[in-house]
Amino acid sequence: MAETLYAPGRPETGGRSGVATMKKIEAIIRPEKLDEVRKAIEDVGYPGITITEAEGHGKQKGITQQWRGETYRVEFLPKVKLELVVSDADVERIIKAIISSAKTGAVGDGKIFVSDIREVVKIRTGERGESAI
């Protein structure tokens, strides 16, 4: 059912039913992994991507640096946040591609968050729904 609601060619129905058929994948990754992750998701196909240089930490917290005899904590480490909005059907492939390319096995590899997207509007054409992503 969901697939047909947001099928290309039926933008007029987008968003009104409240039934989400698209997902936003947000992945916080190591900055040095960005190129590999982008290549990996390119191989499985993706509609578009936004990246943000971010700072943060997980349970492992920050790192200690030193300056002329004194140490100080850098609590927020540089990360990159990727955001992609994709059809439900593409979610698992892209998650797998991100995991396989972003993983080093050490703490600090990051996280992936998946959330429902209720509406997408393409600014240039006014298209809505899956055809707009």
Least distance (Å) from another protein to the CB of residue 41? 15
CB nearer another protein, residue 8 or residue 78:
78
Dist. CA 120–CA 14, nearest whole Å? 8
Alpha-carbon distances of 62 from 80, 90, 102, 104, rounded to whole Å: 16, 34, 20, 18
Asked if 53 is part of the footprint of another protein (rule: CB under 8 A), the reply reads yes
Binding mask 62-91 for another protein (x = CB under 8 A): ---xxxxxxxx-----x-x-----------
Task: Considering only the stretches 20-28, 34-42, 107-115, 116-124, report the one whose residues sit in contact with another protein under the rule CB under 8 A.
Answer: 34-42
Stretch that binds another protein, among 17-25, 61-69, 85-93, 105-113 (CB under 8 A): 61-69
Q: Say if residue 126 is exposed, middle or buried (CB neighbours under 10 Å; 0-12, 13-18, 19+).
A: exposed
Q: Is 127 in the site for another protein (CB under 8 A)?
A: no
The answer to whether residue 100 forms part of the interface with another protein (CB under 8 A) is no
68: left (phi over 0), alpha (psi -120 to 50) or beta: left
Least distance between another protein and beta carbon 37 (Å): 10
Place of tokens 């933008």: 11
Residues 107, 57: Cα–Cα separation, whole Å: 10
